[in-house]
Amino acid sequence: MNTVLDTVVIGGGAMGSAAAWALSRRGRQVTLVEQFGPGHKIGASHGATRNLNPGYHQPDYVAMLAEGLALWDELEQDSGVQLLARTGVVAHGPGGDLPKVAEALTEAGIRAEFLDPAEAGGRWRGIRFDQQVLHMPDGGQLNPEAALPAFQRLASARGAEIRHHTKVVDFEVFDDGVRLGLESAAGTEVVTAAQAVVTAGGWTEKLLARVAGTGAAALRIPKLRVTQEQPAHFRVADPGAVWPGFNHYPGPDYQGWYSPVYGMQTPGEGIKAGWHGVGPVVDPDHRDFLPEPTQLAALQEYARQWLPGVDPDSFEAISCTYTTTPDEDFILDRVGPVVIGAGFSGHGFKFTPVVGRILADLATGTRPAPSIFRASR
């Protein structure tokens, strides 16, 4: 059986779900295929909290922030589900280009204010501050466990077909479209589509490596690095403390490597904290989901020094993947009939509805993505 479709979105995580939502809003026929089931914990889009951290000064990202804040509000209204808890986000420490961030956000109409460490410590006693503190009240925590079903539900209501447990096993690219072999419990099916949107997260390189056909040679993207990241939920030791989202830039000599630390309160689970992008490289199909002992011990020591509101010896380790490009900028581009969205991990979730809009723009030929996201860079 050969089914003819308009647009197939491959990968039903955050960005694929948002692409299906954005395309369906434009009246396009869209089919979303996802190899795993709803709410799976194998990739990067699970869990109940992600920081919406406004701490950017690069113009393209600041513009996406402003658009994203409006789109998250719109999504909440359309879905009837709270997706963003506006707790604010604080950034502190000697790194992070915080003065540039404050200037850029203020110019864009996104609130930002500097506080001295004593004032910040009085507001948020669960965190220790010793240097400049940038408070961004418009930030907060997003809920992936609520957001992904909301995107998919809204897309489905506009006619999108959502197909979980459906794996792409063959992928051919031609000048005028794509041909996909799909495998599910119902068997194998061949579909032809005008275009495909690839949002496969840690599986992107594996998927593109299987591409055949006359257009396959053009599908070149920056090298993607897939790592297993290992944050933890620490038990709250100070029940009276108020917790914003936080990002700490402790400097290049801290713990023997340089990594920012991010964190937030996850209701019912404790204070989530983690290093940024320093986990071991993994194959997403062959992970052990176990914390790396040295990094976990360093994270406990970090909590002991910088998070007086938690018990550093009482925690639950978490496992997720990052998929990053060498420059940590996203890949958002169209190559022939294939639109590619990749390399979002570590700082992409806050931009999910904007990425969906950009992918829909690329799929419909409306406008290109910013040049920093080109696959050929």
pTM over cut 0.85: yes
- pLDDT average, residue stretch 240-267: 87
CA distances from 257 to 107, 132, 249, 278, 300 (A): 33, 21, 12, 9, 15
Mark whether 165 is an active-site residue: no
Identified catalytic residue from 49, 87, 204, 324: 49
Do the beta carbons of residue 148 and residue 14 sit within 8 Å?
A: yes
Mark whether 350 is an active-site residue: yes
Residue 46, Cβ density class (10 Å: 0-12 exposed, 13-18 middle, ≥19 buried): middle
Identified catalytic residue from 50, 92, 135, 357: 50
Q: Does CATH number 3.80.10.10 belong to domain 2-46+146-224+327-373? A: no
Identified catalytic residue from 57, 350, 352, 357: 350
What is the spatial distance between Cα 186 and Cα 341, in angstroms, rounded to a whole number?
28
3-state class of 114 per DSSP? strand
- pLDDT average, residue stretch 54-82: 98
Beta strands 177-184 and 167-174 are antiparallel
Spatial neighbors of 208 by CB under 8 A, at least 6 apart, are: 171, 198, 219, 221, 340
Report the candidate in 353, 305, 350, 311 with the shortest Cα–Cα distance to residue 50.
350
- pLDDT average, residue stretch 66-71: 98
pLDDT in tens, 96-127: 899 999 999 999 999 999 999 999 999 999 99
pLDDT band of residue 344 (cuts 50, 70, 90) is very high
pLDDT at 278 > cutoff 80 = yes
pLDDT in tens, 124-179: 999 999 999 999 999 999 999 999 999 999 999 999 999 999 999 999 999 999 99
Identified catalytic residue from 40, 46, 123, 125: 46
How is the beta sheet containing 84-85 ordered, strand by strand? Answer: 50-52, 140-142, 84-85
Q: Give me the residue spans of the domains in the chain.
A: 2-46+146-224+327-373, 84-140+225-324
Mark whether 286 is an active-site residue: no
- pLDDT average, residue stretch 190-194: 97
pLDDT at 256 > cutoff 80 = no
pLDDT at 372 > cutoff 90 = yes
Identified catalytic residue from 276, 334, 347, 357: 276
Mark whether 272 is an active-site residue: yes
Report the candidate in 89, 98, 87, 88 with the shortest Cα–Cα distance to residue 132.
98
DSSP per-residue letters across 135-201: EETT-EEE-HHHHHHHHHHHHHHTT-EEE-S-EEEEEEEETTEEEEEEEETTEEEEEEEEEEEE--G
Give the tokens for residue 59.
């113009």
What is the spatial distance between Cα 374 and Cα 340, in angstroms, rounded to a whole number?
10
Mark whether 167 is an active-site residue: no
- The confidence score (pLDDT) of residue 253 equals 64
Spatial neighbors of 61 by CB under 8 A, at least 6 apart, are: 351
Identified catalytic residue from 320, 321, 334, 357: 320
124-161: burial string, b at 16+ Cβ within 10 Å, e else: bebbbbeebbbbbbbbbbbbbeebbbbbbbbbeeeebe
- The confidence score (pLDDT) of residue 251 equals 76
Length reported for the chain:
377
- The confidence score (pLDDT) of residue 166 equals 98
Mark whether 49 is an active-site residue: yes
- pLDDT average, residue stretch 293-313: 95
Query: Could you name the CATH architecture of 84-140+225-324?
Result: 2-Layer Sandwich (3.30)
- The confidence score (pLDDT) of residue 258 equals 58
Identified catalytic residue from 272, 334, 347, 357: 272
pLDDT in tens, 202-248: 999 999 999 998 888 789 999 999 999 999 999 999 999 999 999 99
Backbone angles phi, psi at 272, to 5 degrees: -80, 135
